[in-house]
Amino acid sequence: MKVGVVVFPGSNCDHDALEWSSRLLGLPTEEIWYQDRDLRGVDLVILPGGFSYGDYLRCGAMAARAPIMDEVVAHARRGGLVIGICNGFQVLCEVGLLPGALLRNRSLTFLCQDVYLRVETTGSPWTSAMRRGEILRVPIAHGDGNYFCDPETLHRLLGEDRVAFRYVSPGGTLDPEWNVNGSLDAIAGILSEKKNVLGMMPHPERASEDMVGSTDGLGIFKSVMGALCG
């Protein structure tokens, strides 16, 4: 399985994503420049976190129009695996691979802290090796992570089992106090219709070693490796 990390101007979690898949999981991984028009045969695309184009227009809006995104969209439409983390999630919403939008945090400030995620479905390649209801401790680091969509879209997401993660209390219950950015229905991550595309605001790549705080973020990649390699 080959992994590609797209580097936009202003991506700053690209190195972390590269480490995550290459050093911690041992997968061949390469950087893909945003101006390229070739995914070089990778099986899985990571759109990393950061501030592509400084978030100056609207988070992810400029990056969604970068040349490489045509290839990423085509890859996703073919059923290829794509994960967008933080700014990458914002790009996926802007390019239309995932529905909804990420609004300013409820606090109107940037927030970097550990949050607790509840695994809401195991019916996706990203979560298949986890337990439904499992609680993950993973950091967030964003100013615009407040997920929003219209009622109809929410209804579809729920009906199609496309909510991957919700923000919950350490004990696993829904609690507005632990939905720190104020996301609609406490949504932290969602899946595409075919479940091959995952967008999430929290950073699993920062929660994959005990030394830096948590290993709960490894499950996502392990699920995917299981799904791909059998």
Partner 1 sequence: MPDPQVTAELAYKHGLSPEEWERVLSILGRTPTYPELGIFSVMWSEHCSYKSSRVHLKRFPTGGPQVLQGPGENAGVVDIGDGWAVCFKMESHNHPSYIEPYQGAATGVGGILRDVFTMGARPIANLNALFFGRPDHPKTAHLVKGVVAGIGDYGNCIGVPTVGGQVMFHPSYDGNILVNAFTLGLLRADGIFRGYASGVGNPVLYVGSKTGRDGIHGATMASAEFSEATEEKRPTVQVGDPFTEKLLLEACLELMAEDVIVGIQDMGAAGLTSSSFEMAGRSGSGIRFELDKVPMREKGMTPYELLLSESQERMLIVAQRGKENRVREIFSKWGLDAAEIGAVTDTGRAEIFWHGERVVDMPVGPVSDQAPLYKRPMEEPAGFRSRKSVPLPALKKADQGRALLTLMGSPNLCSKRWVYTQYDQSVRTNTVLGPGADAALIRIKGTTKAVAMTTDVNPRFCKLDPFEGGRLAVAEAARNIACVGAKPLAITDCLNFGNPERPEVMWEFSRAVDGISEACLALNTPVVSGNVSFYNETNGEGIHPTPTIGMVGLLDDVARRMDPWFKDEGDLVVVLGETKGHLGGSEYLWAIHGMEAGAPPPLDLQRETALIGLLQELAAKGLAKSVHDCSEGGLAVCAAECGLAPRRTLGAHLELESAGLDAAALLFGEDASRALVTCASIHQEGLLAAARQAGIQAKAVGAAGGDRLRISVDGQPSVDVPMAEIRDAWENGLGSVVG
Binding site for partner 1 (CB under 8 A): 9-10, 12-13, 15-16, 19, 49-51, 53-56, 109-114, 139, 141, 143, 170, 203, 205-206, 208-209, 211-213
* Contact (Cβ atoms closer than 8 angstroms) between residue 230 and residue 136: no
15 is catalytic: no
Q: How far is the CB of 229 from partner 1 (least distance, A)?
A: 25
Place of tokens 């991506």: 11
Q: How far is the CB of 166 from partner 1 (least distance, A)?
A: 20
Q: How far is the CB of 8 from partner 1 (least distance, A)?
A: 11
Residue in 86, 93, 120, 142 annotated catalytic: 86
Closer by beta carbon to partner 1, 123 or else 172: 172
86 is catalytic: yes
Closer by beta carbon to partner 1, 12 or else 122: 12
Strands in the chain per DSSP E: 3-7, 29-33, 44-47, 81-85, 101-103, 111-119, 135-142, 146-148, 163-168, 187-191, 197-200
Closer by beta carbon to partner 1, 211 or else 229: 211
| Ramachandran angles phi, psi of 115, nearest 5° | -125, 165
Residue in 71, 94, 120, 205 annotated catalytic: 205
Closer by beta carbon to partner 1, 12 or else 153: 12
Tokens of 151: 């009622």
152 is catalytic: no
Tokens of 190: 């969602």
Rounded Cα gap, residues 39 and 66, in angstroms = 13
Q: Give residue 108's Cα distance to chain centre.
A: 21
Catalytic residues: 86, 203, 205
